[in-house]
Structure 1
Amino acid sequence: MGHCLAKPNKDRDDSEHDVEFAGGNVHLITTKESWEQKMAEAKRDGKIVIANFSATWCGPCRMIAPFYRELSEKFPSLVYLTIDVDELTEFSTSWDIKATPTFFFLKDGQQIDKLVGANKPELQKKIIAMQDSASSCKK
């Protein structure tokens, strides 16, 4: 499925390709502090976090963003984050992001799964599996 490997060299006006990467239950992470706060809340509440590392210039990222938002509303027991790799470059580098979008599935701050690329069926399947495992843990 589609994913972006590098930022295009073309200088374009950002407003031209601005896409809503947040909304629904998706939280846009713009600082390392907001990341740490959301991770702490998720750990406290025993929730699984889905971290979407993406970029505004990435076509596949823009294509999957509304679907990710839709899934966040359909499966609200998970925590949905979006990190712009250009805004938090150093932080994204620490996660070894090689392509966008990259989705990390985290429990207590530890990676339990990963998906690279804008693969809607696979993303939905993984989110449903995370939702089911989160539900079975609470029973």
Structure 2
Amino acid sequence: MGVLTHDVFFAKLTELFIGRRAKDHGAISLTQKRYTHGQALPPPSPENPFPELHLDSPVPLLIRATNGKGGEKKAKKVKLSTLVEPADLEAFYSRYAEVCKTGMAALKPRDRTKRKAKAKKKKVGGIAQVV
């Protein structure tokens, strides 16, 4: 899937959160990075063999969302991405935060009782109890 418009990205991200709400486990990964595709890197020199890209103007951000690992038995992996121009960042982030807050509020917290019981069992077995 290519780069989506902001409206389509938010609609599909909302659907992704709703889909995770119905299941008892799963992950949604949200990532952001600078979009420097097509920018020319300075050539390497003996003094600086790994030159960095220094930009004079702000660059767009690439925002991605995925639903974790996809497998044969699991649902198909969903990959969403959108490109945000520097001028649109404030409006985008306000809507992005709203969608993420409402989506994450309905997710169930992880059940860690098994992990706690296992840790307690190790502690009791490995260290002498003081009464």
The TM-score with structure 2 as length reference comes to: 0.32
Greater relative contact order, per chain length (Cα 8 Å cut-off, separation 6+): 1
Look at both structures and tell me which one has the larger radius of gyration over its CA atoms.
2
Which structure has more strand as a fraction of its residues?
A: 1
Normalising by structure 1, what TM-score? Answer: 0.31
